[in-house]
């Protein structure tokens, strides 16, 4: 597996983690009403969306490099 | 004698030597971190129910600073992007861009370790206090007008040390009670040493949580440090190979990048497990 393929695995894992983090922050905000938890939830969601967009850009930019 | 397949891939496997080597090494690393993760989860699941410190053996979750941990996660994700961009720059024959991205990666590593040190300092200067009347609390300690620090072990206090130093009372700034509604203020109090049954900082010997937390995060921190040193070598003193054998140099950067991604991936699992659960 090349660095390109491993980077994609890493980005997918990061997107999943950030999505989960966003859900966690939202659930905690409903529980505590703390604005910090809401901010963390929104930031997690934005980071997940940003990483998806970056992943698409990365695939386009490095399409000539092998996955092996 | 020339070693084959250092820059060109072996026709039957499609891989050059170092790539096989790094994946074998990473397999052993997965076993190492996997064992520690399993230990953490089993200890977490097996902990007593209730709110720590009121229940002594309960799990002290939500003790870590989530915003700081989130920022450190963002720093590591950024460093993965910059290290892969450094490798892609070499593939596109652009050494200047490679060096710029490598410097950014190393800066991210330094930032991560700096923030982690700050978090460690927070834990080493935070105390758990239990009194004879059954009260239990966490907070900051002041002995002889001085707050204990992080870098000097002489500043770490516990009950036997207070007694042997003939200290009769200490000041304690208690945190707002955990598990209670609202966010009360910090309560400052003077505590007589003969009323104390237990006093210790948030250090590995104090609680199973701290033992496993410091073991995993310190091991991960050493991996970050080691990876950053190797990448710094490739970016500066070791970069001469770019002129003599650019293909092998690019392969070396890919190997360094694979290790760096592994270290970052460990954190992607570590952050939710340790900070959020």
pLDDT digits (tens, 9 = 90+) for A36-53: 999 999 999 999 999 999
Task: Check CB contact under 8 Å for A68 and B87.
Answer: no
Instruction: Clarify whether residues B111 and B241 are in a common domain.
Output: yes
What separation in angstroms does the CA of B2 have from each of B6, B7, B12, B13, B247?
A: 9, 12, 19, 20, 16
User: In this complex, is the C-beta atom of A38 within 8 Å of any C-beta atom belonging to chain B?
Assistant: no
Q: Does some domain include residue B105?
A: yes
- Low-confidence residues in chain B, pLDDT < 50: 179-183
Structurally, how many domains does chain B consist of? 2
* A4-A9-A10-A13 Cα dihedral, nearest 10 degrees: 160
Instruction: Clarify whether residues B99 and B197 are in a common domain.
Output: no
What's the pLDDT at B181? Answer: 43
More confident position, B8 or A9: A9
What's the pLDDT at B66? Answer: 95
Instruction: Clarify whether residues B190 and B84 are in a common domain.
Output: no
- Please give the mean pLDDT across all residues of chain A: 95
Decide: helix, strand or coil at residue B247. helix
User: CA A4 to CA A39: how far, in whole Å?
Assistant: 32
Instruction: Clarify whether residues B216 and B90 are in a common domain.
Output: yes
Supply the range of the domain harboring residue B140. 127-201
Report ipTM (2 d.p.). 0.95
Residues 46-65 of A with CB under 8 A from B: 47, 51, 54, 58, 61-62, 65
Task: Check CB contact under 8 Å for B70 and A40.
Answer: yes
User: In this complex, is the C-beta atom of B241 within 8 Å of any C-beta atom belonging to chain A?
Assistant: no
- Beta partners for residue B140, in sequence order: B173
Can you state the angle between helices B17-46 and B208-235, rounded to 10 degrees? 160
What's the pLDDT at B247? Answer: 94
User: In this complex, is the C-beta atom of B272 within 8 Å of any C-beta atom belonging to chain A?
Assistant: yes
Our measurement of the distance from residue B4's CA atom to the centroid of its chain's CA atoms, rounded to an integer in Å, reads 39
Structure tokens at B73: 């996660």
Who among A10, A17, A21 is closest to B261 (CB)?
A: A10
User: In this complex, is the C-beta atom of B261 within 8 Å of any C-beta atom belonging to chain A?
Assistant: yes
User: In this complex, is the C-beta atom of B25 within 8 Å of any C-beta atom belonging to chain A?
Assistant: no
What's the pLDDT at B178? Answer: 54
Instruction: Clarify whether residues B151 and B270 are in a common domain.
Output: no
The tens digit of pLDDT for each residue in A57-66 reads 999 998 888 8
User: CA A41 to CA A25: how far, in whole Å?
Assistant: 4
Check whether A3 has a pLDDT greater than 50. Answer: yes
Q: Are B127 and B142 in contact (CB under 8 A)?
A: no
Task: Check CB contact under 8 Å for B70 and A43.
Answer: yes
What's the pLDDT at B185? Answer: 66
């Amino acid at each position: 597996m090349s660095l390109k393929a491993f980077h994609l695995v890493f980005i997918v894992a990061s997107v999943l983690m950030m999505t989960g983090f966003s859900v966690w922050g939202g659930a905690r905000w409903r529980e505590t009403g703390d604005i910090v938890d809401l901010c963390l939830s929104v930031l997690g969601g934005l980071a997940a969306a940003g990483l998806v967009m970056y992943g698409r850009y990365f695939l386009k930019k490095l399409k000539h490099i092998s996955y092996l | 004698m020339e070693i084959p397949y250092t820059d060109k891939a072996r026709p039957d496997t499609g891989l050059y030597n170092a790539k096989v080597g790094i994946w074998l090494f990473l397999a052993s690393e997965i076993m190492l971190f996997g064992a520690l993760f399993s230990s953490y989860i089993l200890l977490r699941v097996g902990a007593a129910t209730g709110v720590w410190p009121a229940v002594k053996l309960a799990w002290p979750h939500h003790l870590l600073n989530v915003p700081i941990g989130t920022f450190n996660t963002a720093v590591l994700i950024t460093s993965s992007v910059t290290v892969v961009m450094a490798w892609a720059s070499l593939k596109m024959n652009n050494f200047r861009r490679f060096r710029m991205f490598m410097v950014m990666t190393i800066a991210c590593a330094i930032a991560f370790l700096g923030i982690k040190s700050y978090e460690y300092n927070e834990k080493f200067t935070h105390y758990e206090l239990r009194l004879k009347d059954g009260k239990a609390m966490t907070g900051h300690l002041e002995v002889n007008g001085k707050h204990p620090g992080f870098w000097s072990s002489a500043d770490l206090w516990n009950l036997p040390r207070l007694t042997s130093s003939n200290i009769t009372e200490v000041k304690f700034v208690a945190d707002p009670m955990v598990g209670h509604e609202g966010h009360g203020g910090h309560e400052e109090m003077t505590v007589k040493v003969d009323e104390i049954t237990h006093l210790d900082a948030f250090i590995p010997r104090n609680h199973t949580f701290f033992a496993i937390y410091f073991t995993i995060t310190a091991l991960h921190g050493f991996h970050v440090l080691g990876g950053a040193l190797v990448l710094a070598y490739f970016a500066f003193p070791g970069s001469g190979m770019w002129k003599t054998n650019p293909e092998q140099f690019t392969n070396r950067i890919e190997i360094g990048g694979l290790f760096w991604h592994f270290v970052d991936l460990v954190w992607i699992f570590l952050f939710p497990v340790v900070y959020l659960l």
